[in-house]
Amino acid sequence: MFSKILIANRSEIGVRIIKTCRRLGVKTAIVYSEADADSLAVEMADEAVFIGPPPASESYLVMDKIIDAVRQTGSEAVHPGFGFLSENPVFAKRLADEKIAFIGPNVHAIEAMGDKITSKEFAAKAGVSTVPGHMGLIEETEEAVKISDGIGYPVMIKASAGGGGKGIRVAYSAEEVLEGFPAVRAEAKNAFGDDRVFIEKFIESPRHIEIQVLGDKHGNAIHLFERECSIQRRNQKVIEEAPSPLLDEDTRQKMGAQAVALSKAVNYDSAGTVEFVASGADKSFYFLEMNTRLQVEHPVTEMITGVDLVEQMLRVASGEELAIKQEDLSINGWAVESRVYAEDPYRNFLPSIGRLKRFQPPSEGKIDGAPGTVRMDSGVREGDEISMFYDPMIAKLVTHGETRDAAIDTQQAALDRYLIDGIQDNIPFVATVYDQARFRSGNITTAYIKDEFPDGFAGVEPDEDQTLILAASAAYVHGTFSHRAAQISGRMSPVPAPREDWIVILGKEHFPIKLRFASGRTEIDLNGSTHTLETDWVPGEHLFEGKIDGNPFAVKFSDRTEGYLFRHRGVAIRALVCTPQSAALHAKLPEKEQADLSKLIMSPMPGLVVSVDVEVGQEVKSGSAVCVVEAMKMQNIIRAEADGVVKAVNVGAGDSVAADEIMVEFE
């Protein structure tokens, strides 16, 4: 085993690797950019080396800087994590030439499988079924249109060196190829330094299932079963689980055997993933690609097998033979993972950038009332800054249970207790997915989000149980604050008993509620029924936990200029708590008029203007591209929402813009 390794990555995966190394007694060094100088990974590593400015092209992607850091720290090996240089064969060869161990597969395997075009050709020769498409590189947009016409729409335009959902567009017409092909090339060049693009048939309503493989340098290879990764948005995974609710044992064995055969064909000697697209109708499957690295979603496999994949990568890279045989492995229970992204689900999931004013993840292990266990993989802390330069994923929440329902129930309980403030996060959205009957049934496809949320995500209305939870919580919080304020002021002596009668206004609905406080127990009258609330909540906490009629719950809330914002799963609602007199007065107040923003194109997020596609005086049709703004490695096409004539253009290519900054005005 190595005595010291260098981690050529950042954030969550850096922390994840450090944890295993600590357990194994392996020292760690990590590289960092200016944006990550105060990061958790840098704090946890035994040593850290500064490698440059925030853009990855000037820091994490610069091979010379990584190799210099290896020499500077005396490290014996490099773990690349995922993304950045993890699947770059040139980097792996540079390390080999420098006599530095690469904690990943051999160069031949990376070259054969890491490139999506080459891997498909290789798989086809090996007899592995592949999705129809054009295997050659495509240079010109016109050529891309001809090829797409020949394959038949819809088609997927995909960066050859892509990964993590970057550099992918689905086109349903020649017009969409004309727009999407240059965008994919630009994203690929920016994210991976490689603008090669290919096109393949897009299979509608497929399921994305992948097989985790492990190989060593002695010719051994095994699989660790499958992961279902069908819940995706913009081709980026959001929820993953293991095993898959689709596969039966026969299909699982066939898929696993094919993945192992492919791994052995390239002498694969590390952790890797063979990805398939599977039909939910007949369970047929086709090879998509092989990721020659550790996957983001590897924790769900670890939870059902008990195998530490990072440890296995270290052992294999140091020359050890796999101690695990295929017959040693079995599936233990079920695991689900939510990717927690810094993005605003209420604004079409646009990136959200800023400081984490609060970051309080749920505790690992057991949660009161939940049947399973919780694992947290995160690379941030409260007070950290979420940068525009990197991927928006800030954490992974993983839960495990004896059954799929148990894992999901535990996930919901954990999400309820995950408190983030200062940026927007996607927790309300993923919590809504888990609540849906269709997801619970296992009837999922990669089109799930598009099918279930065709108009985007606008939150959900509270049901009867949530209304009780929210009204009771709001009344208790406000009643406690009011009574405490009276105690502190000392203006009334003796201090009166806590007020019992309140009106809770949730959105526009008024709910008369009566609270009868007692030690650790409160009687609640709401909608003609009496309930019991038990809670240990104290003022100052923004997570309200308790039990109503013995059933555990948790809601998150924050103060507003008027009232509170309460959040529970997919519900986000303003709550006002008033006396009956002030509630009557509030009902008479006129509603505020909303400002007319229809003639303005505003930046939906902080970012960098890549291009402006209109000029003053130009007539623009609804849906036309106006400009492109880049943030968190994604290029976002901003479109006109109505027909109009351009009155003013306030930005140009290369400009930085803030969220809601006016970029284009219409007459």
User: Does any domain span residue 615?
Assistant: yes
Decide which of 143, 178, 201 is a domain's last residue: 201
Same-domain pairing of 497 and 567: yes
| pLDDT of 166 | 76
Decide which of 201, 224, 251 is a domain's last residue: 201
Same-domain pairing of 73 and 13: yes
- Residue owning tokens 């109708």: 281
User: Does any domain span residue 503?
Assistant: yes
Q: Are 341 and 372 in contact (CB under 8 A)?
A: no
**What are 530-558's pLDDT values in tens digits?**
999 999 998 889 999 999 999 999 999 98
661 vs 374: which has the higher pLDDT: 374
CATH number at residue 85: 3.40.50.20
Q: What is the residue-averaged pLDDT of the chain? A: 91
Same-domain pairing of 499 and 584: yes
| pLDDT of 163 | 67
Same-domain pairing of 90 and 167: no
CATH number at residue 610: 2.40.50.100
**Residue 519 pLDDT > 90, yes or no?**
no
Same-domain pairing of 473 and 580: yes
Same-domain pairing of 626 and 518: no
Of 87, 200, 289, 545, which one is the catalytic site residue? 289
User: Does any domain span residue 647?
Assistant: yes
**What are 274-304's pLDDT values in tens digits?**
999 998 888 889 899 999 999 999 999 999 9
**Residue 139 pLDDT > 90, yes or no?**
no
Same-domain pairing of 543 and 655: no
Q: Are 101 and 8 in contact (CB under 8 A)?
A: no
CATH number at residue 472: 3.30.700.30
| pLDDT of 195 | 85
- Residue owning tokens 């140009």: 652
Q: Which tokens in the block code for residue 142?
A: 């016109």
Identify whether 665 is a catalytic site residue: no
Query: Which range among 194-208, 218-232, 485-499, 577-591 shows the weakest confidence by mean pLDDT?
Result: 485-499
Q: Which domain holds residue 25?
A: 4-103
Same-domain pairing of 515 and 625: no
* Bridging pattern class, strands 27-32 and 4-7: parallel
Residues forming a β-bridge with 551: 548
Same-domain pairing of 608 and 540: no
**Residue 445 pLDDT > 90, yes or no?**
yes
User: Among residues of the chain, what percentage have pLDDT more than 90?
Assistant: 70
pTM: 0.82
What is the chain's Cα-based Rg? 27
User: Does any domain span residue 512?
Assistant: yes
| Alpha carbon distances (Å) from 157 to 200, 274, 310, 631, 639 | 7, 20, 32, 21, 21
Decide which of 65, 84, 103 is a domain's last residue: 103
Separation CA 592–CA 586 (nearest Å): 13
Same-domain pairing of 136 and 51: no
First-to-last C-alpha distance (Å) of the chain: 68
- For the chain, the domain total comes to 4
